Every structure is written in structure tokens, then in C-alpha cells.
Amino acid sequence: MSQRAPTRQACDDCGAELGPRDPRMQCERCGGLLSLVYDPPDQRGIALHALFDSRLTLQTAQGVPHGISGVWRFRELVLPDASDTEVVTQPEGNTTLLQRERVARWCGVNTLFLKHEGGNPTGSFKDRGMTVAVTQARRIGATAVACASTGNTSASLAAYAALAGLPALVLVPQGQVSLGKLAQTLAYGARTLLVRGDFDDCLRLTRDAADRLGVYLANSINPYRIAGQKTIILEMLQQLGWQAPDWIVLPAGNLGNTSAFGAALREALQLGLIDRAPRLAAVQASGAAPFAASFRDDFRERHTVRAETAATAIRIGDPASYARAVRAIRETNGVVLDVTDAEILDAKAVVDASGVGCEPASAASVAGVRTLAARGMIKRDEVVVAVLTGHILKDPGILLQYHRETEPAPALANRPLEIDADLGAVERVLAAAARGTR
């Protein structure tokens, strides 16, 4: 293998480069966000497939992070110059790509895959970016790491910081983080600040803290996070035998993942991993849909809103990775749409009742597939991958509310039945179940 230069960081807007150890998240010249720049691997096309596929057989090898992690298996496209001893890995990734007939039928398509990122160690896709960001934090000798979060990033950072032995500071909007996520964040040991404000306030404050107090920022404006999250796409393509689907549909909040998907598809095409680009569909909640509003304007204007949605993970009104997400949508001939909270919760109930389950924000992708199929934008015979970004138990509060407390009961509500301690009562329930009634 040829001698490689260290991974650099370059401004997305003006191309100015920062050194590999620079902890800043923005270009000092123009304020643009940064991307990682690295020498591409020597292999292309099927040789690169072979390299990545060969590592699948290392799944059980001890002490080989690139073999057992679904992120570091693709290290040539993530952070090529990180050594095995530097890598902070749980490991993560290796999530399932599922097919559930019932969900596909509900969406109105024949072939629907669910890429379930809830299978990551802390229950969301954030672990894929966090393994890289915390690896970088340790490489540059950061003394503390910090993030703003709607709950999943904070849980993930807390876990990886614990693994790396670094103090973590997380800023979350008070009263707006689901129970599972807050509980995890506390349990993993992060210093947890409940900010009187929304996510957008938390992010502003965290960016100031990173600039002025010298903590290392682990939000998705961090280019190392984006590099790790590209592997959702790489792993999914690998699972499909490197055959690109027609559509990839994902929930969109702060737009880090949309940006990462765009970057992954760009590289996959450049390196011959795939021979055609799938279209991206980014789905927002109607009460938190500034990106969808900009899309409707053909991206002439950057919209911001005061966000409100039951899908708290994507309750974001001023997405930080806006510009690179615009590029991702444009390059993939993609679309941005919004779906109502009622549509999200119905989609979630369908995913949950299929035995798969996901958190509310994740179900936005499934609701989005249904909407796009109904509009005729997604054709019935096209191959669709919907990304489920988080685990069903992330938000138990909303589950109980939907199934137990909502009046009138939604069509898919599964009310618990209170009975006397009496076999006759059990028998009546069983008979009703056999008839398909309640």
C-alpha cells in the first residue's frame, strides 16, 4: 500500500484546509462547515467490495476493531490513518436489514427494507458517528467532550466518553427529552445540563462552550461524526450485495445524517462501489419542517421555525448541517417532505406491531414512504430502504400514551385489559383473541 497523508479537514464552502488535529468545527475564513479529506484507497469497484467483504469473516476475531465494527470495517472511507489502538469502539454497527411484508403493504410498495439502527449499542445510529468523534477527541488529547442533544446524541456521547475515560457534558432541552434517553445519559455518567430552552438554544450554547471553554464538540457539525455515519449507507449497500436500491428514506432533524448519506453515496459512486445513485428522501415532522419548506422553495431560502412535534428526536427548527444537506438532496435528485405527528404515530404502530419496533422519529421514514408511494413518486415496484434510526424503548412514554391513554383510541391502539385474578376472565380474552376481536 502506498504512503498516505494524514486525514485533513477542509471547508465545504471555500476549500480552506485545517490541520488534522485542529479542534475547530468551522472554517476560520468563511464560517463554512468542514469535511474530512483523505487519500482514497488503492482499490476500486469489485476489489473494494472484496476488501470490505473479507472483513465480514473477521467478525469474531479478538482485538480487531475493523473486523468486528460495522464502522471500522470501512475504515479506508472513515478515518484511514487511525490505528487500532487509537480506536474507541464498543463495537457498533452491524445492524440488521429487515423485510416485513406487513409494513411494505401498509406503505404501498412491494420491496421495502428496514435498516434498523436501533440495534447499535446505545440504541441509535449516533454510535456510528460517536465512535469516530470520540476516537478523534482522544487522538488530539481533548480534556472533555460536549454536545447539545434531543437525547440520542447525548446517550451515545455519554457511553463513548465513558469508554474513553473522558468527562462528558451534555446540554438537553428541559422537559423535551424522552425518558429512555435521559435515563441512559445519566446512567452512562455524563454531566447532564437541563437547559431552559429548546434544542436550537442548546446547540448555540454548546458551540459557544466549545469555542470559549475548549471542550471538544461532538455534535454532527463535527466532520468525524459525519464520516462515521456514512457507514449506515456503506453497510446497507454491502448487505444488498452492492446493488443500489431506488430510494433511501430517512428522518431529518439537524440534517447531519442527510449530509452523511449524501457524502457516502458520492464516494460510493466515485469509487465504483455502486453504479447508480439511489434517490434520497428526507422526512421531517410537520411541526419541525424548515428543510421541507426550503425544498418547496427550490432551496432559494433557508427557513427556520420554532419546532414542535411529538417526535422529540427531530424537534429542531434551525438545522445546523443545512448547506451540505441541500447538496445531498440535489446530487441524488432527492426530495424533502413532511408528515404529521398522527402519520408518524400510525407508521410507528405498524412498525411496532410487525415485531420490529422503533422510536417515533424513526417512523417518520416509514410514514414518508407511504406518502411518497401514495403520491406516485415512489413506484410500487421500486426497491426502497427506510432507515429506522432508534430503538422502540427510547421513548416508552409515547408508547403508553398511544396505546393506553389517547381518546378516542387510535385504530392501532392495543389497550391493556385489567381483569380479576380469575381463569374465566383469561378464557374470555383468549376466545376474543381467537375471533380476532377484543
Binding site for ligand F0G (CB under 6 A): 124, 126, 149-153, 220, 251-258, 313-314, 359, 361-362, 389-390
Q: Considering the complex, state which of residue 220 and residue 222 has its C-beta at the smaller distance from ligand F0G.
A: 220
Cα separations in angstroms, 322 against 106, 266, 294, 332, 360:
31, 17, 10, 16, 22
Instruction: Give the residue from 135, 146, 129 showing the smallest Cα distance to 215.
Output: 146
Instruction: Give the residue from 116, 125, 192 showing the smallest Cα distance to 153.
Output: 125
Cβ contacts of 383 within 8 Å, gap of 6 or more: 111, 113, 245, 246, 247
Q: How far apart are CA 96 and CA 118, in angstroms?
A: 9
Q: Considering the complex, state which of residue 106 and residue 125 has its C-beta at the smaller distance from ligand F0G.
A: 125
Q: How far is the CB of 187 from ligand F0G (least distance, A)?
A: 16
Q: Considering the complex, state which of residue 69 and residue 258 has its C-beta at the smaller distance from ligand F0G.
A: 258
Cα separations in angstroms, 146 against 166, 232, 290, 302:
10, 23, 26, 27
Q: How far is the CB of 110 from ligand F0G (least distance, A)?
A: 26
Q: Considering the complex, state which of residue 124 and residue 371 has its C-beta at the smaller distance from ligand F0G.
A: 124
Q: How far is the CB of 294 from ligand F0G (least distance, A)?
A: 14
**Which helix (H) or strand (E) element contains residue 98?**
strand 96-98
Q: How far apart are CA 300 and CA 72, in angstroms?
A: 38
DSSP H helices in 112-165: 126-139, 152-164
Q: How far is the CB of 386 from ligand F0G (least distance, A)?
A: 12
Q: Considering the complex, state which of residue 264 and residue 271 has its C-beta at the smaller distance from ligand F0G.
A: 264
Q: Considering the complex, state which of residue 114 and residue 314 has its C-beta at the smaller distance from ligand F0G.
A: 314
Q: How far apart are CA 288 and CA 324, in angstroms?
A: 19
Q: Considering the complex, state which of residue 68 and residue 364 has its C-beta at the smaller distance from ligand F0G.
A: 364
Q: How far is the CB of 362 from ligand F0G (least distance, A)?
A: 5
User: Angle, to 10 degrees, between the axis of helix 322-331 and the axis of helix 256-270?
Assistant: 40
Q: How far is the CB of 220 from ligand F0G (least distance, A)?
A: 5
Q: Considering the complex, state which of residue 65 and residue 173 has its C-beta at the smaller distance from ligand F0G.
A: 173
Q: Considering the complex, state which of residue 7 and residue 362 has its C-beta at the smaller distance from ligand F0G.
A: 362
Instruction: Give the residue from 50, 49, 17 showing the smallest Cα distance to 36.
Output: 17
Q: How far is the CB of 29 from ligand F0G (least distance, A)?
A: 26
Q: How far is the CB of 167 from ligand F0G (least distance, A)?
A: 19
Q: How far is the CB of 150 from ligand F0G (least distance, A)?
A: 4
Cβ contacts of 289 within 8 Å, gap of 6 or more: 305, 338
Q: How far apart are CA 31 and CA 36, in angstroms?
A: 16
Q: How far apart are CA 256 and CA 61, in angstroms?
A: 32
Cis peptide before 91 (omega within 30 of 0): yes
